[in-house]
Amino acid sequence: MTNNDILKKLRVALMLRDDEIVDILALVDFRISKSEIGAFCRREDHPKYKECGDQVLRNFLNGLVIHLRGTKEDPKVPKDILNTPKITQKGPSKPRKGKFTGLGSVPYKNKKRS
């Protein structure tokens, strides 16, 4: 697995955009452009593909630690780490008329096999 693969997988898993990766790298005083991040995430056979060096990946991982955990002087609260939107339920959803709704409210009964 190459450094490019690791960077791409972390980018997808953490749902990061190129500008967010640039901001994360800026946390450890590493300057890089969005176009370079895009070049790292291209396919190997693409003409604009660029290999991700060890220094870039190391600084990204160090910046990611600061981004997620904070520093020793300024730790982050665990609920601030995950940027998951709140899901609000308005109540039970009602099936639409004329649409197939499956079994609806028919309870499942265990049938004994004979």
| All structural domains of the chain with their residue ranges | 3-81
pLDDT (tens place) for every residue of the chain, 114 residues total: 999 999 999 999 999 999 999 999 999 999 999 999 999 999 999 999 999 999 999 999 999 999 988 877 877 765 545 555 555 556 566 655 665 555 555 555 565 665
The contacts of residue 67 (CB under 8 Å, 6+ apart) are: 23, 24, 27
Q: What is the pTM of this model?
A: 0.65
Q: Which helix (H) or strand (E) holds 25?
A: helix 18-26
